[in-house]
Structure 1
Amino acid sequence: MSDQMTDTPDPITPPAETSRLAHFPVTFFAIVMGLMGLSLALHAGAPAYEWLLHASSLVLLIGAAVLLVVSAFYVAKALRYPAMVVEEWHHPVKLAFFPTFTVSLLLLATAIHTYSAPLAEWIWLVGVVGQGVLTVAVITGWISHRSFQVGHLTPAWFIPAVGNVIVPILGARLGYIETSWLLFSGGIIFWIVLLTLVMNRLIFHDPIVARLFPTMVILIAPPAVAFLAYVSMTGEIDGFARILLNAGYIFAVLVVAQVPKLAKLPFALSWWALSFPPAALSIASFRFSQLDGSRGHQTIGVLILILLVVVVAGLVFRTGQAIARGEICQPE
């Protein structure tokens, strides 16, 4: 009897040396966001360079496959080690990454709309419901939590807000206007609130720890995505749209100034934060060019897209290297 009890794996405190699955992080969904962002950015550049459409389709297939694999592993973790999922949910930093799953669904729906509108709508609906539930749950977790420290706050906290703002990009085209405005409004409000908190943290407190410093790039995403959502709902570029896009450019310049520091940091899954924000800014630049006829914005979109391809290629290589070396799914 005692031998059986000893040999039975414990789902609450799994042995670190034998339970890689138990340490499979929710941050893996950031990889899917990056790949989907790249697919959408390539597609956005296709009107100027037709061959990019084929590259976009290939990346979309890869991204969808990665989403299925990552989802399967995380579901297996939830069934085998539920306490580890609960631990991540109560983690002050990882909590913000849970909506990356529903954000990935929203991006997938947007990417496949060209190929199958009915399927895209169903995926989008699931993503919207999940995003709404997770946003409320995450913010409730923030409000009810009483042990947060200043160091826990990073730009990764923007992720739930960004997820809401992504909704209208396809939602407006599908005809869900009021739903799109509802989630857009919530996303913008919480982005402004969180931006104030994050800037206060960056200016008046200790620097972000090395492992999470790449999340600085997420500063670019909210205004760039908000621009795309806003013009999707209004169909035109006005003063507010210009403010959003130019805010994305301003944050991009601030991030570029941090590149020397980024280059010295060791690799972690948080490095995938470098992928989606540039993709959003590239797409926004292409969209501005299409609506306004600006060749300058088209050139900016192309330059950011080239940088994005290089960044994602490097991230894929470094992630594969980290997996081969057993550096991923380790206790922290």
Structure 2
Amino acid sequence: MRFLICALVLGSTFSMVQAQTPAPESRGWQTLATEGQPTARHEAALVGFQDNLYLLGGRRINPVDVYDPDTNVWTAKSETPLELHHFQGVVVADAIYLMGAMTGRYPKETPLEKVVVYYPKEDRFDFVHSIPASRRRGGAGAVYHNGWIYLIGGITNGHVDGCRSWFDRYDPKTGVWEILPDAPHQRDHFQATVIGNRLYAAGGRVTSKRDNAVFSQTISKIDVYDFEAGQWLPPEQCPDLPTERAGNSVIAIDGKLVIGCGESADQKQAHDEIEVYDPAIDRWSAWPSLLQGRHGTGLVRIGDSLFTASGSGNRGGGPELTTTERLVLSQ
């Protein structure tokens, strides 16, 4: 393993200007009357692969559900080889890597010992490379950049305790695992994405059932890593999430950071807010809210539309949803 040294990054400070007007190209979310439905589940991953939605994992053993926007049909594929949840799916070539996954029941779920890969064309799962024992965790953020999968944060002991600020990268071809400088903040139950040459780790919380703080310790600060500099930006140069939540979904769209869904101690209902950060002008805006708040799923762009599906409608484990929503991004 190779340890890298983190240095301070100098630059301008974000000013946190917030605009609460919908994106002009957006016409509001629509609940689709699909043929078939996704399996009700949460703590799963919704991934875009070759213009289809793939819903993988979640509590219990579930099939992989695939949605084709051209036909408006959901189709059930193979079941996962074991219960897999609390991971972010990462597409690499012809495969989906289930990074940072856990198995087992609440509250003491167990991180996996190996990386699990799903091959959509073959409808097949495989256990590939071992994860170093000292770096195993679930509920982490994951992104793919320049041949590496980067894993950020996570929790080592289910929902009991063990939230980390760890930052690693993994070569899906060789199995090489490298330890990088810790992120500025510990966090779990969140997602990450890449915009340009920077990684954004947004939302999440410090989960600690041991301290009776499962939902309450949400994180407002977004951690930003500059790949070119090989450094995390200082917190004062990073934006704050307007609505704190964990179990949230994150996606990059046209150079903007889009954050939706989630759960928090502030409300029983899952979050429906869609908040968008534009790094080019250091400004937040609000896109139309979901028709049904949800957490433990994802946001996927296919063509001119943004999709979400399944998830939990309230804070915690239910009700698990079977709906599919779409937001048209352009006329």
For the criterion TM > 0.5, the same-fold answer is no
Larger radius of gyration: 1
User: Structure 1 or 2: larger helix share?
Assistant: 1
Tell me the TM-score normalised to structure 2 length: 0.30
